Every structure is written in C-alpha cells, then in structure tokens.
Amino acid sequence: MRKIEEAMCAAVKERRNWQSGNTRVQVKDGGNWVKVYLWDNLIYTECREDGAKRFTLAGWNTNTTRSRLNALGVGVTQRNWLPYYNGHEIGSSAWYKINN
C-alpha cells in the first residue's frame, strides 16, 4: 500500500479531515459521514449511523482509482480492461454498496 493510501485509511478510520495531492478525506455531520475524493471526484462514502459503505469509480476505471478503493477494503479488480467487484462486472459510473 502506498504511503498516501496509508494516511488516507488512517484519516477514514479516525474520522478526520485530511488531504494530500489528489486525494482528500472529508468528514461531515459531526463524523457521521466520511467521504473520500480523488481529483475532486467522490469515490467512497461511509455512514457511521447505518454502517453503509458505498463506492464508485466515478467514471474513471484507472489504476489509481482502484488502488485507493482497494486500500479502503473494497476489492475492485480489472479483467480485459473491465472493472469487477465480487466477481461481477460493474459500471464505471454507478454506485455500489460494499458487502461486509
């Protein structure tokens, strides 16, 4: 895992605002919501209240987007240039709930 991803994960876990380079963690609603942005594109949300975690590739099926999401424990892969989650092909712009 890259150092930027380690710092990002720590900020998510600690529910604190953080930014470095192209990656930003934003905490909302008194820590109830955590949002992760890559190049100002929202790629991950986590709600403490209901435990819901969701992700999107935000239209960018890139190595960096997948790497940031995988550092957060999502598990997005690529086969034949297509993104997959839990063995199923996914769209690059849709939102998906993370199965815990």
Can you tell me the distance from the alpha carbon of 68 to that of 76, in angstroms, rounded to the nearest whole number? 10
Do the Cβ atoms of 57 and 76 come closer than 8 Å? yes
pLDDT > 80? residue 87: yes
The domain ranges of the chain are: 3-97
pLDDT of 100 reads 62
Q: Cα dist. 79→11, 32, 87, 90 in Å?
A: 30, 35, 10, 11
pTM of the model: 0.94
Per-chain mean pLDDT for the chain: 95
Average pLDDT over residues 19-36: 95
Asked whether the predicted pLDDT for residue 26 surpasses 70, the reply is yes
Task: Say which amino acid occupies 33.
Answer: W
Tell me the backbone φ, ψ of residue 74, rounded to 5 degrees: -75, -55
